[in-house]
Structure 1
Amino acid sequence: MKRTYIYLYTILAALTVFLSSCLKSEKTFTDFSKAGTLVELPLAAYKGLNKTAPVALPIQAAAQTIPVVINVASPVPLSTSLKVTLKVDEAALTALNNKNIAQYKSDSTAAANDTTGATAAPDYPVVYDLMPTAFYSISSLIATVPANQRTATINVSVITQNFDLEKAYVLPISIVDASGQQISNYKTLFLNIQAKNKYDGIYTVKGIVHRDADTQLGGHRGPGATVSLATTGANSVSYAPLWADNKTGIGGIDGLNIVINPTTNKVSFTDSNATLVGEPGYDTRYDPATKTFYISMLWNGADINHRGLTDTLTYSKARP
């Protein structure tokens, strides 16, 4: 968690310096001394209008804190303190969902009307869920920027233990009053708060599917193949492995979970559609030092000893 907070504070600090310094630029000889004051949420400015700010937190019962910084952009800091009022803005989240769905419909129509096939059909957008009040608390929705300073911070405390991992929670926070000062367009921060365990991410795949006498669904895959492992519990992730011809999207196992023993790092499997077992003699495990899964499994069928896969999954980057 320290890395998350350090990363957020570094961005916000850099934005604050940038926003204040750009108002007085000697290099461009532009006089901003008469520029007005804008009150904003700098993380919203960094992400852009109508964009979410993902924050990944571990699954736990203890509260975890997300700082929300309010910034005053002006030629010089104000000589008096400034009270800024915020709110949890459900209407802004509804508008964001509606905008994304409208864009999807427009892009779908464009793709359908393109007889050349050059316009790809869009993916359906994520529909965000308002964060339930049972999962968070806010230190205060009134922030005071002290005289001769530029920022103030409110804290959002989140408990992730009971998150519904099928939902995409967003906590929308908007500035609604700035004591007479102008409010920036970057007034709404869409905090996309995600519960992710340490195994969650995008992994590169190197492996083989073994299916006797099946050249289409059997064989080697990689390099270049990737899979997403998404959190399904404190120590489990979903895994939808594709067969050797993964570029065509043929084949796969639906409803498969990788379950990691946090003490031994040994791996087992659960699946809604098949009986899966680790291949005898293979050390199916997770290596925390290299963030790598070594997996070999067999699935049910009359020829069980000839149907399975062996994969090495190596962590590449965080999942969006």
Structure 2
Amino acid sequence: MNYSIKIAGLFLFGMAVTSCLKDDMNLDPDTSTNVVEFKNPSSFASPSGSTYSLYSKSFDLAPEADYPVTVSYSGAHVAPQDITVTLGVDTAAVTQYNNEQEEEYDVLESNLYTIPATVVIPKGQRTAQVVIKVKPSQFDFAKNYVLPIQIKSASTGVVSGNFGTILLAVKAKNIYDATYESTGYVYHPTAPRAVHADKHMETVSPTTVKVELGDLGGSGYFANVTVDPATNKVTITPAAGAAGAPYTQFNTGLPTPYMPAWANASKANNTYDPATKTFYLRYGYMGGNGWRVTEEILVRQ
């Protein structure tokens, strides 16, 4: 009998505790607290679990460019009155991100951007747009820039712990930076093969782009392609940290026995055609058992 009474008592106590917990838990979205945060300006570039979210965007080499970012009053409700959001920059966030992810991002210098001190989310609305001005033509191509923008305060609502500070990786891109359709051939002593793939040419400097060497990007082989704007002649050199021996460009012909029937095409001599946005490349390097030579045409997508 006493045992039954104890069981009943424990059951009633458990019900009471559960009831109290349910009263304390806020499961109704209509009574939840809104947060003030940045909306994602683009796709994530940071790994899962990162303290700060990183986004990446490239800009043409212009004196000034706009980077619009949205500030949001996120939750069940619209803004009950005009909400003034104070903005700033959190350089410590870049240091923390570099330490966490073993990266080497540089904080964008203050003379290379302007950001409004405040933005107002109007009463009855959920968002407001902030237009950040950046100066791509003055970017140092040797640096890996990040702008760490921060919501410092909001007149109404709670600043988000997850998206109250975000990192904007900003890059300048030259006129050759794009995705190209590559067609050509790798003349290899033991594994000759055709090349047909989409390749991205990435900005290195105002006149240089980095591109996968042949079809060996997965093995770390990349070349720098530099265009002389006056002549549209192309110079090919190994990219920084690229695998393999120094690459050689062949402007007048491939070393025998790698000369194909179409190798003497009039434009297949390391040039860039600005009218069609097409690269004609011929390059190679000496391996352990002979030359590895690639000849390809890259047409901008």
TM-score (norm 1): 0.64
Q: Deviations over 1:120-143 (max 9, x none)?
A: xxxxxx3211111221122x1211
Q: Deviations over 1:168-201 (max 9, x none)?
A: 1100001121125211121112111011124324
Letter in 1 for 2:148: P
Report the RMSD for the aligned CA atoms in angstroms. 3.5
Letter in 1 for 2:190: T
In the TM superposition, 1:148-187 aligns within 5 A as: 148-184=124-160, 185-187=162-164
> CA 1:299 to 1:73, structure 2 compared with 1: closer, same or farther past 3 Å?
closer
> CA 1:32 to 1:289, structure 2 compared with 1: closer, same or farther past 3 Å?
farther
Tell me the equivalent position of 1:53: 55
Q: Deviations over 1:177-232 (max 9, x none)?
A: 11252111211121110111243245554433447xx436xx324356x6542212
Tell me the equivalent position of 1:276: 249
Tell me the equivalent position of 1:97: 98
Contact 1:292–1:315 under 8 Å retained in 2: yes
In the TM superposition, 1:1-320 aligns within 5 A as: 31-43=28-40, 47=44, 50-60=52-62, 62-101=63-102, 126-138=103-115, 140-184=116-160, 185-201=162-178, 203=180, 205-210=182-187, 214-215=189-190, 219-223=192-196, 227-242=199-214, 246=216, 249=219, 256-260=223-227, 266-271=232-237, 276-279=249-252, 281-282=264-265, 283-284=267-268, 285-286=271-272, 292-297=278-283, 308-314=293-299
Unaligned runs of 5+ in 1: 1-29, 102-125, 301-305
**% same residue:** 27
Letter in 1 for 2:59: L
Equivalent residues, number: 246
CA distance in 1, matches of 2:30, 2:71: 22
Contact 2:184–2:196 under 8 Å retained in 1: no
CA distance in 2, matches of 1:233, 1:297: 21
- Tell me, what secondary structure is at the counterpart of 2:30? coil
Unaligned runs of 5+ in 2: 1-26, 239-245, 254-263
CA distance in 1, matches of 2:43, 2:203: 27
Q: Could you say which structure has the larger radius of gyration?
A: 2
